Amino acid sequence: MKRFILAIVFVFCCSLGMTPPAEAGLISKEQEIEMGRQTAMQLEAKYGVVQDYALQERVNRIGQSLVKVSERQDLEYSFKVLNSDEVNALACPGGFIYVFKGLIDYMPSDAELAGVLGHEITHVVKKHTVHQIEKQLLTTLAFAIVTKGDLGIAGLATQALAAGYSRTDERGADKGGFNLCVAAGYNPYSVVLTINKLEDMAKEQGNPGYGIFSSHPEPEERLKRVMKQIKALKVHPEITLNEDNTARVHEGDWGFNITQTVGNDRPEYRAYMLAGGLYCVRECDKGHIDPYRFIVYDNGGSATIYYDDIEILTVYNQDAYAGGFGSAGSYAAACTELLRQWVPVANANDTAVQSKSKDKKK
């Protein structure tokens, strides 16, 4: 009865052109979870879940690491990969988050997946879909379903996801996703990578009209906002994009050139991966980076450089041949030596910053 009266008050206010209270509160947490569960069941029935335990575990691991630093811990979040070649992701109410296999093929690194998942988690944390459904309830009198005590409201979740988020919500999800990635220790350029790649995808192939594509927010403005957050972090090394579409990652007298586009990754995107990875390294061991903790995992046609478990850069035979090397592995070994030359520059700069900070405190 209390919920019924609350709904009547809100609809009455709307009918008179009055502004209702900011928080409708028509949907309880239990209803949010149930509508999300039902929507999740529909998605899994439609697409199926990828039968790859290692992949599912990887996506869940990344997602849960972001949840741990989020502002909403009262839900049991789940992360699954749907068996579809579409490049998409979406968040159902209650913490049921899905990525499509096509997205993982298009954005293979943990950093990129973290950028997507952080964005989707923020939609759940901020209850963007829930608030959108509450507005629907107020304007369509669908609150009558709620007052009967059943969960017929769950069907509105699918409609809300299809309708998409407002630009304000999307901007908030970008900001929140960025903060989650940084707090969880992922590449600060994660969200930049995802925005750029989604824009590339939309230009080349169009978009499915829902999930991460649904509201068509302006990519240039989104990038400006995220870059502003990155600037506030004072991320180093820096990135310079050249007129010939190559990129250079540099700090002081040290520099690393990236010339090759590999698959969907232009030199600019690979520079983001490298610069962001090195930023993560210095955040872990500021002033005390060990040059010999850079290691190479050679996969034959490609080789990935890590600092402990931090992914720095993946190089390919294409890079090797362009640089005069016989294989990705041999080229990665040479790149590792170049990264080791960055270490004394980074350590010196970090030590100088720490000394200045101590002097200011005095």
**Confidence (pLDDT) at 356:** 64
For CA atoms 146, 150, 155, 157, the dihedral sign is positive
**Confidence (pLDDT) at 140:** 58
Residue 186 Cα distances to 112, 128, 136, 275, 309, angstroms: 9, 24, 37, 12, 11
Provide the whole-model pTM: 0.83
**Confidence (pLDDT) at 2:** 40
**Confidence (pLDDT) at 154:** 53
Any bridge partners for residue 181, and if so which? none
Task: Find all residues with CB under 8 Å of 306, minimum gap 6, and list them.
Answer: 294, 295, 296, 297, 312
CB 110 within 8 A of CB 181: no
**Confidence (pLDDT) at 31:** 86
Q: At what angle do helices 267-284 and 110-125 cross, to 10 degrees?
A: 80
Burial of residue 71 (CB within 10 Å: 0-12, 13-18, 19+) is exposed
Neighbours of 53 (CB within 10 A): 8
Neighbours of 355 (CB within 10 A): 11
Burial of residue 337 (CB within 10 Å: 0-12, 13-18, 19+) is exposed
Show pLDDT as tens, one digit a residue, over the chain (362 residues): 345 434 444 444 444 343 444 444 677 888 889 889 999 999 999 999 999 999 999 999 999 999 999 999 999 999 999 999 988 899 999 999 999 999 999 998 999 999 999 999 999 999 877 777 777 766 655 445 444 444 455 566 666 665 566 778 888 889 999 999 999 999 999 999 998 988 888 777 766 655 665 554 577 888 999 999 999 999 999 999 999 999 999 999 999 999 999 998 999 999 999 999 999 999 999 889 999 999 999 999 999 999 999 999 999 999 999 999 999 999 999 999 999 999 999 999 988 777 665 656 55
